[in-house]
Amino acid sequence: MNAAVRTQVAIVGAGPAGLVLSHLLAEAGIASVVIDSRSREEIESTIRAGILEQGTVDLLAGIPGSRVHSVGSRHDGIELRFDGAGHRIDFTGLAGRSVWLFPQHEALRDLIAARVASGQDLRFGWTATAIEGADGERPRVIATDDAGGALAIEADFVVGADGSRSVVRRAISGSHDGFFREYPFGWFGILCEAPPSADELIYSNSPDGFALISQRSPTVQRMYFQCDPDADADAMSDAQIWDALQTRVPGHALIEGPIFQRDVLRLRSFVARTLRQGRLAIVGDAAHTVPPTGAKGMNLAVADVVLLARALEELLLRSDAHLIDAWADAALDRIWKAQHFSWWMTSMLHVAPGATEFDRRRQLGELRTVASSEAGRTYLAEGYTGWPLG
Ligand code: DHB
């Protein structure tokens, strides 16, 4: 069965970027169709990071039914830990802003429910296979579903919010055209049933590498430790995992509990060379990847689409192209700041394989510089809580 639909904006991908964009466009009176290759259940159950910047929270809180304030919890600081001692970074005192711990899949549940309630054309299980007419005024997204159906969405503008293997990026510039860096370590992540080990998140550097003690709820905790990027998540026993975590957080006793999920993630930085070409643009993970340290991924995706929604409003409602012509540079300004912040947190806290005694002592010098100076702590607090949405 072949079908064709026509809309103002075709959005490929129903993750945070695609859903927030469809919400902002609808508020401006612009129609969109959103497709995603995954099922709703898959999207709502994928475990990702949990930290939202103030600007992201303010936007989500304005969407009907949002639970960000009721289920999420405000965090006014973090602990930076090294050399066996903790140092608090006071976000509200230093930057006048906080962050919120609200797992991404919970944010996605809210966003999907809100879009469905407003009658959004949102289709799960549809995989974009090609973009046609990319150089013209009426680009088309071609998609298929598992049942062999085919769909053509003709639009005034196509947005790729379709993740790191973006089909829309391929239509713009070739799938890997951009700036890329791979780190020589990964993160071993767990979810466990236990009370929080501390009031705030702990970012810990130790001679054995990095660990992050994060949280999910009063009874479920999320923790990570630096590992080989090719590590097998099933190769370690629970006791070995707790030992690895505890060794990397010296001087702070972790509260252990049954581990019910484990995964290994690779650390990468990427920025696509071209974010927009004519009436195609890419946002979120399709446009960039950051290593997870500092949890910038979803926040950056939201910032991309806040700017893009304004530009599309000018273009589609007032036939004014000046904002869309300036959009990629405006988005890249923040993207490269976030790239730097994520790279900096990552390199300051991890121990690279083959690090020398010089490297190790220099790193401790850097950590002491940041923790002991108000300027250093402020720099971290401003980057972590996020720059205001321009
Ligand atoms: C989480 C992940 C991060 O990368 C981070 O910096 C903070 C928290 C998390 O999953 O909870």
The domain spans of the chain are 2-73+100-179+269-345, 182-267+351-385
pLDDT of 127 over the 90 cut: yes
Sign of the CA dihedral with 378 first, then 379, 382, and 383 last: negative
182-267+351-385 is a CATH 3.30.9.10 domain: yes
Do residues 125 and 145 lie in contact, with contact meaning Cβ atoms separated by under 8 Å? Answer: yes
Which positions ≥6 away from 42 have C-beta within 8 Å? none
Burial of 237 (0-12, 13-18, 19+ CB in 10 A): exposed
Q: Is residue 2 very low, low, confident or very high in pLDDT (cuts 50, 70, 90)?
A: confident
At 122, is the pLDDT very low, low, confident or very high (cuts 50, 70, 90)?
very high
Q: How far apart are CA 275 and CA 300, in angstroms?
A: 14
| For residues 135-147, average pLDDT | 96
Ligand 1 probe mutation, 201, 220, 265, most atoms within 8 A of CB: 201
Please report the pLDDT score of residue 264 as a whole number.
97
- Model confidence at 121, in pLDDT bands (50, 70, 90)? very high
Q: Tell me the average pLDDT across 95-115.
A: 97
Taking the centre of ligand 1 as the mean of its atom positions, its distance from the CA of residue 282, in whole angstroms, is 24
At residue 59, the pLDDT reads 97
2-73+100-179+269-345 against 182-267+351-385: fold identical: no
| CATH 3.30.390.30, domain 2-73+100-179+269-345, yes or no | no
3-state class of 349 per DSSP?
helix
**Average per-residue pLDDT in the chain?**
96
pLDDT higher than threshold 80 for residue 328: yes
From 21, 20, 74, 66, select the one nearest 50 (Cα to Cα). Answer: 74
Q: Cα–Cα distance between 350 and 292 in angstroms, integer?
A: 12
* pLDDT for res 198: 98
| pLDDT over 80 at 171, yes or no | yes
What pLDDT was estimated at residue 375? 98
Q: Among this protein's residues, is 224 annotated catalytic?
A: no
Please, are residues 290 and 300 in contact by the beta-carbon 8 Å criterion?
Answer: yes
Q: In this predicted structure, what is the pLDDT of residue 323?
A: 98
pLDDT band at residue 92 using 50, 70 and 90 as cut-offs: very high
pLDDT-derived band of residue 174, with 50, 70 and 90 as boundaries? confident
- Whether ligand 1 lies within 6 angstroms of the CB of 49 is answered as yes
Task: Tell me what percent of the residues of the chain surpass a pLDDT of 90.
Answer: 96
List 16, 23, 139, 384, catalytic entry? 384
Q: Is the pTM of this model over 0.95?
A: yes
How confident is the model over 31-44, as a mean pLDDT?
A: 98
Given the residues 23, 75, 288, 350, select the one marked as catalytic.
75
Mean pLDDT of 269-274: 97
Is residue 359 predicted with pLDDT exceeding 60?
A: yes
pLDDT tens by residue, 57-73: 999 999 999 999 999 99
